[in-house]
Amino acid sequence: MQGTSKKKLWKKDYTYFLLFTGLALVGFLLFYLYPIIRTLLLSFTDKTIFALSYDFKGFENYIYALTKDTLFWQSIKQSFIYAFFSGIAVLITSMVLALLLSSKVRGIVFFKTVYMLPFIIPSFAVGAVYKNLFNPYNGFVNEILRLFGVKNLPLWYAGPDTALLTMIIISSFGFGVKMLVFLAAIQGVSKEYYEAAMVMGASKWRRFVSITLPLISPMLFFNVILITIDGLKSFNLAFVMGNGDGWPSNSTLLFPIYMFKTAFNSPFRLGYASAMAYIFFLIILALTGIQFLLSRFYVEKDVS
């Protein structure tokens, strides 16, 4: 009798579980698991978007990408450069702003709102705004430089030597979510630590290095992972700045842009783009694993 009661209770709980999670599970299967598996299968074929039939090619797509496709390696290199330098800028900016916003000054809520507003706007719209600001002919930035007497005004995104640098500068303002993560971590640090350090005569820098940084190191590690992945898979800004094709002279051709062009521009090589996607996934996975290994040197495990 008791076993029957437990079985009915288990069925009831299982029914509620399916009711509340069913939609999420269906969404996961349709929009995540199925595309992942299908992309893997397509990566071994010569599938194009409009072809009704396709042939199995084994690892031919992978070998071609790794050994013969120069644009593949150029896009990988540029994605790494972009992710590295923009990541450092975002990490520093978000940390500094979080420290400033954690201070008790009048009107701090206003500043928090101002810093978060740009991240509510769609990224394509933000990219278009920055494209106007950095317009080499009549943009606001060059107009300011002209007022200061600068003669050789930079071409910014219109020049092959400065286009990637322009994207890095613009992306350094993408600190919103990371800033909030740091802010929450900083506000979670007990004030008793700072009070004890101040009694001992510790400077602000010493308090930051010896108290704040070790205690928020888990969130620092989380932000490093987040920033690395965001930087490597960056698409919207590069698409807007480079007109969707890496203009000028492939200088804004980040890997996601090249993969998009391969799949959805003529000759629509969907199978090859799928292989590229999995190679890039393995690269990101390896980098994430390296960061987990390195985290043991700076992440404080006991933050109680």
What is the model's pLDDT at position 121?
A: 77
pLDDT at 3: 55
CATH number where 196 lies = 1.10.3720.10
Asked, for residue 127, whether it belongs to a domain, the answer is yes
CA 257 – CA 276 distance, rounded (Å):
12
The count of domains in the chain is 1
Do the domain assignments include residue 234?
A: yes
CA 298/CA 214 separation, integer angstroms: 8
pLDDT, tens digit only, all 304 positions of the chain: 455 666 777 777 778 888 888 888 889 999 999 999 999 999 999 999 988 889 999 999 999 999 999 999 999 999 999 999 999 999 999 999 999 888 877 777 777 777 777 777 778 888 889 999 999 999 999 999 999 999 899 999 999 999 999 999 999 888 888 998 999 999 999 889 998 999 999 999 999 999 999 999 999 999 999 999 999 999 999 999 999 899 999 999 999 999 999 999 988 999 999 999 999 999 999 999 999 999 988 898 765 5
Distances 204 to 198, 200, 211, 230 between C-alpha atoms, Å: 9, 12, 10, 32
Helix (H, G, I), strand (E, B) or coil at 131: helix
Q: What is the pLDDT of residue 2?
A: 52
Instruction: Identify the domain containing residue 152 by its residue range.
Output: 62-297
What local confidence, expressed as pLDDT, does residue 304 receive?
A: 53
Helix (H, G, I), strand (E, B) or coil at 56: strand
Would you say residue 268 lies in a domain? Answer: yes
Residue 20 lies in a domain: no
Q: Give residue 21's pLDDT.
A: 84
Helix extents (H) in the chain: 2-28, 34-42, 60-67, 70-101, 108-116, 123-133, 140-147, 163-171, 176-187, 191-199, 204-207, 213-215, 217-232, 236-241, 255-264, 270-294
Q: Residue 47 falls within a domain, yes or no? A: no
pTM of the model: 0.90
Q: Is 70 exposed, middle or buried (0-12, 13-18, 19+ CB in 10 A)?
A: exposed
- C-alpha–C-alpha distance, residues 260 and 239, integer Å: 10
Whether 184 and 95 have beta carbons less than 8 Å apart is answered as no
How would you class 225 by CB atoms within 10 Å of its CB: exposed for 0-12, middle for 13-18, buried for 19 or more? middle
* Residue 274 covered by a domain: yes
Look at residue 7 and tell me if it is in a domain. no
Q: For the chain, give me the number of helices (H) and strands (E)?
A: 16, 0
- Looking up tokens 């993969």 gives 259
Residue 171 lies in a domain: yes
- Residue 98 Ramachandran class (φ > 0 left, ψ -120 to 50 alpha, else beta): alpha
